[in-house]
Amino acid sequence: MAKTSVFVAAPDFPVLDGCEMLSGPYADSLATAKRLGFDGVEIVMGDPAEFDAGQFKDLLREHGLGISAINSGGIQYKLKAALVDADAQKAEFALEKLKHNIRHCQTLGCLQQVGVARGFAVRGRPMRWYRGCLVEVLTEAARYASELQVEIVFEYANRFEINTVNTGAEAREIVDRVGRSNMGILIDTGHSFLEDPDVYQNILDLKDYVRHFHLHDSNGGGALIGGGETDFDRVMETCGGIGYRNWFSDGLFTAKYTDEEVRRSTNGLRQLYEKHGI
């Protein structure tokens, strides 16, 4: 059966306006994740050099939790770097940090997410240049990850968060150009609501690409408790139809909800997994 993971911000990850993720010492955030009914976590990494994967693996075992992915957002938000940059040295720095994350993924046995770490459009450069650079750096990252038997999931995001690769169709084009079997797509239902013509049809359109999900309501809120417009029953029905049975992550606003509300979300998702055979 599919499993639900929650975002856990690394202790060195900066506080972002409008986000309320589980944070603090890992021992505390993992204990909270377990108490709230999650099956595992997705680490929102800061600087991978500050992370002890072996120690974290012990904590996962202690709390009976799995891990879905390492989120590379800290390359953008913590290190102020990007995989595409007019300065080649800065772009190389970002790639080396991504590779460090990938080595942690190998140790932990999880996916590597690549999203806003790609960076914003570069002033004075056309988007075709940007996308060409992005394909080149993702190809190298996927080659490196393949050697370590790690899969990469590329996440597109809405225009209000970043101004590059905003739709499922655009993400598919990038992944096709990379052409590596260990690279797929991550669909965030919140981003999809804002950018794709139809959230549910988009899942069908990307059925051969999708390897991970972030479950956020149309307003960014938690699955089943956000009060937005997304029909998560229909999301799960569609996922069941394409044979998806892997991780679903949630968690931009976990800390703003009561324990009872979050348990309603985790329990409700588990019921939907069972209902739709995922």
Closest CA to 109 of 66, 139, 153, 147: 66
> pLDDT digits over 201-250, tens only?
999 999 999 999 999 999 999 999 999 999 999 999 999 999 999 999 99
Residues for the chain: how many in total? 278
**pTM tops 0.85:** yes
What are the pLDDT digits (tens) for 130-152?
Answer: 999 999 999 999 999 999 999 99
Per cent of the chain over pLDDT 90 is 99
β-bridge partners, 277: none
Strands (E), the chain: 3-9, 40-44, 66-71, 111-114, 152-155, 183-188, 210-214, 247-250
Asked if residue 214 lies in contact with residue 220, where contact means CB atoms within 8 angstroms, the answer is: no
Q: How many CB atoms lie within 10 A of CB 205?
A: 16
Q: Look up the CATH superfamily of 3-275.
A: Divalent-metal-dependent TIM barrel enzymes (3.20.20.150)
Quick one: pLDDT at residue 82?
98
pLDDT band of 18, cuts 50, 70, 90: confident
- Predicted pLDDT of residue 134: 98
- Domain chopping of the chain, boundaries: 3-275
User: Residues 36, 40, 45, 50: what is their CA dihedral angle, to the nearest 10 degrees?
Assistant: 100
